[in-house]
Amino acid sequence: MHLSDHNSACRWVCSAWLAASALTAPVFAEIAPRGQRSTVDIKYGEWKKLCFKAAGPPLLCRTSISGIYETGQMAVRIDLIEREKSGNARMQVFVPVGMYLRIPAKLKVDTGAYHPIPYSWCVSNGCIAGDVANSKLVKEMESGKTLTLEVVDSNLLSLTTSLPLAQFSTAHDGPPAQTLEQDIEE
């Protein structure tokens, strides 16, 4: 076999592989929900701020709200996690297993724009979407009335639920409901 024959064969195999990959690979923009499914019977608690104090400053605080089904199973939890005086924050959304992880969870305040929160990992009883908290979203939450969460399940059905924001600003800006002192290894 000559070198030119070998190169031609390699080019042909690579071209065929690329063409097959392009035809079979799903394109993110093409994956869209096929419909909607309602979320009912979720009862939300109040927004609460918990802080964790390690050996020294700064304090690590989490402003959270949880929603549960009538069965007592967690339906959703949203955390805004901030380190005191750092200016940086992280938004985390906890949802039950069974979500389509390639489409991020989305949050919006009132009639504003959606903010995508990509899934980070799953454990046996839930999945967590998390990302740097957009400062615009946090400001909207402080003055808004309703936080809408939209997720897509594994059947590609969109699920939407609305969480109250009436107490968010008070909890977020106020003193913690509880401060836990413990060693946190980083």
pLDDT one-digit tens code per residue, 14-70: 444 444 444 444 444 457 667 777 777 899 999 999 999 877 778 899 999 999 999
Question: What pTM does this model have?
Answer: 0.77
pLDDT grade, residue 166 (50/70/90)? Answer: very high
Angstrom distances, CA of residue 25 to CA of 11, 56, 104: 21, 50, 19
Q: How far apart are the C-alpha atoms of 177 and 26, rounded to whole Å?
A: 46
Select 36-181's CATH number: 3.40.1190.20, 1.10.3720.10, 2.60.40.1880, 3.40.50.850. Answer: 2.60.40.1880
Cα separation of 90 and 176, whole Å?
A: 17
How many residues does the structure list for the chain?
186
Query: At residue 2, does pLDDT exceed 70?
Result: no
Query: What does the pLDDT look like over 137-163, one tens digit per residue?
Result: 999 999 999 999 999 999 999 999 999
Segment 111-137, tens digit of pLDDT: 999 999 999 999 999 999 999 998 999
Edge-to-edge strands of the sheet including 105-109? 35-38, 157-164, 146-152, 105-109, 115-117
Nearest partner of 172 among 140, 149, 150, 148, judged by Cα: 140
User: Which backbone phi and psi does 11 adopt, to 5 degrees?
Assistant: -65, -40
Residues 6+ apart with CB under 8 A from 23: none
